[in-house]
């Protein structure tokens, strides 16, 4: 496997993970990784429910940094550990996200859409009363709204995240079906000097392809995009680098001969 860096990782500092950071690092070492970037969740203004009466996605950056520095001191001679964050983007959260992005010396920031107009695509209610295509179009349109409000990130995460939870997942989904929106999204990102990621986390959710689908990655390259990271979106050690050989195949198929890593918010390119 040529890809020896994982740039989308969560530990117990993310509200949906219970994995000790040290366990994640040890797994990365056993896999022969050269770089691991932790990208713990922070989602401001996440809707509260009876099941989740508190926002579990508010990141305690102080505790996160303290743990990170301990692991960096312990294992830094063996693997490059990087301090990142995954920001949940919404127009209502733009100012708070901007403050958080400036509050710490992050190596890498992923901007992601976990909510669409304040609604969570994880729940079936998001799709009720309309077609799957209408729901997906609302989600992709919301990405353009987010980009109008906030661009202090390095790559946009899992661009087609919504298909993980749709009624038919990605069985009826394609780039061509939503080309009008995807081309606007990709051109906006490229013009702003931002990248995308290949996120392999959707495979375990039953998707046929990685995030985003191969044709979106190909179109990004055709339009001139050259910043592309690779991340497993692992929330437990066993998922680190899952489906990375497939990610390499997609990169090569779409015309890439490299992938991107970040440090101090600066990109560099690694040959496949």
Where do the domains of the chain lie, and which CATH numbers do they carry? Answer: 5-271 (3.20.20.140)
> What percent of the chain shows pLDDT beyond 70?
100
Q: Distance between CA atoms of 262 and 251, rounded to whole angstroms?
A: 18
Q: Distance between CA atoms of 259 and 248, rounded to whole angstroms?
A: 9
pLDDT averaged over the chain? 97
Alpha-carbon distance values, 197 to 123, 160, 186, 233 (Å): 24, 11, 12, 11
Q: Distance between CA atoms of 271 and 112, rounded to whole angstroms?
A: 26
The 8-class DSSP code of residue 151 comes to -
Is the pLDDT confidence value at 53 over 80?
no
46: left (phi over 0), alpha (psi -120 to 50) or beta: beta
Instruction: Give Cβ neighbours of residue 236 (< 8 Å, ≥ 6 apart).
Output: 17, 18, 19
Predicted pLDDT at 90: 97
Tokens representing 146 are: 């987010």
pLDDT in tens, 165-215: 999 999 999 999 999 999 999 999 999 999 999 999 999 889 999 999 999
Q: Distance between CA atoms of 78 and 130, rounded to whole angstroms?
A: 51
Predicted pLDDT at 48: 84
Q: Distance between CA atoms of 39 and 110, rounded to whole angstroms?
A: 7
Is the pLDDT confidence value at 112 over 90?
yes
**Residue in 127, 117, 115, 104 with CA at minimum distance from that of residue 39:** 104
Instruction: Give Cβ neighbours of residue 127 (< 8 Å, ≥ 6 apart).
Output: 121, 135, 166, 167
Phi then psi dihedrals of residue 199, to 5 deg: -110, 120
Length of the chain: 272
Is the pLDDT confidence value at 52 over 90?
no
Q: Distance between CA atoms of 110 and 145, rounded to whole angstroms?
A: 17
Is the pLDDT confidence value at 117 over 80?
yes
Q: How confident is the model at residue 49 (pLDDT cuts 50, 70, 90)?
A: confident
Is the pLDDT confidence value at 64 over 80?
yes
> H helices of 150-243, where?
179-191, 214-222
pLDDT in tens, 4-34: 999 999 999 999 999 999 999 999 999 999 9
Least confident span in 23-27, 38-42, 47-51: 47-51
Q: Distance between CA atoms of 246 and 37, rounded to whole angstroms?
A: 20
């Amino acid at each position: 496997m040529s890809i020896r860096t994982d740039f989308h990782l969560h530990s117990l500092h993310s509200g949906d993970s219970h994995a000790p950071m040290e366990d994640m690092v040890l797994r990365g070492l056993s896999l022969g990784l050269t770089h691991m970037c932790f990208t713990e969740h922070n989602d401001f203004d996440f809707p509260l429910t009876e099941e989740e009466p508190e926002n579990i996605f508010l990141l305690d950056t102080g505790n996160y940094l303290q743990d990170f520095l301990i692991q960096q001191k312990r294992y830094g001679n063996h693997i490059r550990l990087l301090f990142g964050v995954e920001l949940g983007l919404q127009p209502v959260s733009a100012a708070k996200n901007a403050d958080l992005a400036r509050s710490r010396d992050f190596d890498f920031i992923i901007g992601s859409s976990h909510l669409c107009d304040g609604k969570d695509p994880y729940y079936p209610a998001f799709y009720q009363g309309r077609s799957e295509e209408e729901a997906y179009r609302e989600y992709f349109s919301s990405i353009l709204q987010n980009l109008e409000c906030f661009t202090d990130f390095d790559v946009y995460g899992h661009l087609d995240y919504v298909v993980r939870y749709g009624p038919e997942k990605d069985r009826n989904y394609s780039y061509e079906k939503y080309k009008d929106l995807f081309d606007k999204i990709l051109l906006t990102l490229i013009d702003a000097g931002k990248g995308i990621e290949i996120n392999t986390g959707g495979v375990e959710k039953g998707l046929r392809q990685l995030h985003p689908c191969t044709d979106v990655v190909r179109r990004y390259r055709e339009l001139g995009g050259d910043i592309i990271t690779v991340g497993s979106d692992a929330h437990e050690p066993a998922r680190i680098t899952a489906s990375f050989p497939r990610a390499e195949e997609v990169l090569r198929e779409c015309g890439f001969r490299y992938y991107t890593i970040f440090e101090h918010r600066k990109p560099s390119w690694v040959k496949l």
